[in-house]
Amino acid sequence: MTSTDTTSAAVGRVAVVTGGSRGIGRAVSHRLSSDGWAVVVNYVADAAAAEETVAALTAAGGTALAVQADVADENAVAALFDQTEAAFGGVDVVVNAAGRLALSPIAELDLNVLDQLHRTNVRGAFVVAQLAAQRLRAGGSLVGFSSSVVGTQFPDYGAYAASKGAIEAMTLILARELRGRDITVNTVAPGPTATELFLEDKTEEQVESLAKAPPLERLGTPEDIAAVVAFLTSAEGRWVNGQILRANGGMV
């Protein structure tokens, strides 16, 4: 099923993965699809990557749909949910993997860059959480994404860590606000993970240093993080609610 197929087809469990065509989001899309979920792969600009992801999921026997939406645009996100419900009958899981990274000392950061970062990472996370709270079916889950840099507090990550700290602050509040709905809300905070975005503009020495930081002495993989999301959205993860899970191999 492609992004142009709007045929209604009630299926079993349905997941929306924002930023689902690249990096950790793509790994999450693959893992949930392999676990039997129908997956809506959200993207903001790279339609080719989204359609490539959908093609891979369907080739492996899954059911998938690519839908464009800017997570910071509430009307676009509402349309994303509308298309999901029209195609599959409802929404059971929302994984908000969409995000933006900008590195700079706080004293030197261009405030326009700060605004763009926070538009996606803070406003976008809030918009997705708000629509998920309105649209998720009973028994559903919302999984957000923070970063372990909120705890490690590396230099140059000030703006990024601040944006991710906002997501952590919302997590337990929303879980409590959804009392009685049988919906869990959790946030995954990965450590250094070998994605294209993470590796970009880093020297071999920087990558090696970060890989040695956890006691397990390696970078995380997107599949490591996808496994955590799969647990949180499974029946086995139902008693975990309102939590920040630092999936980082033993870093602070």
Residues annotated as catalytic (active site), given as ranges: 160
DSSP string, 5-32: -------S-EEEEETTTSHHHHHHHHHH
Q: Whole-angstrom Cα distance, residue 182 to residue 175? A: 10
Residue 67: HSE in the Cβ half-sphere, 13 Å Cα cutoff: 24
Q: What angle do CA 53, 121, 147 make, to 5 degrees?
A: 85
DSSP string, 109-149: --HHHHHHHHIIIIIHHHHHHHHHHHHPPTT-EEEEE--TH
**Residues 102 and 48 sit within 8 Å (Cβ to Cβ):** no
Q: What angle do CA 189, 103, 201 make, to 5 degrees?
A: 100
User: SS in 3 state form for 72-111?
Assistant: CCHHHHHHHHHHHHHHHCCCCEEEECCCCCCCCCHHHCCH
- Chain centroid offset of residue 170 CA: 15
- Helix/strand/coil percentages in the chain, nearest 5: 45, 15, 40
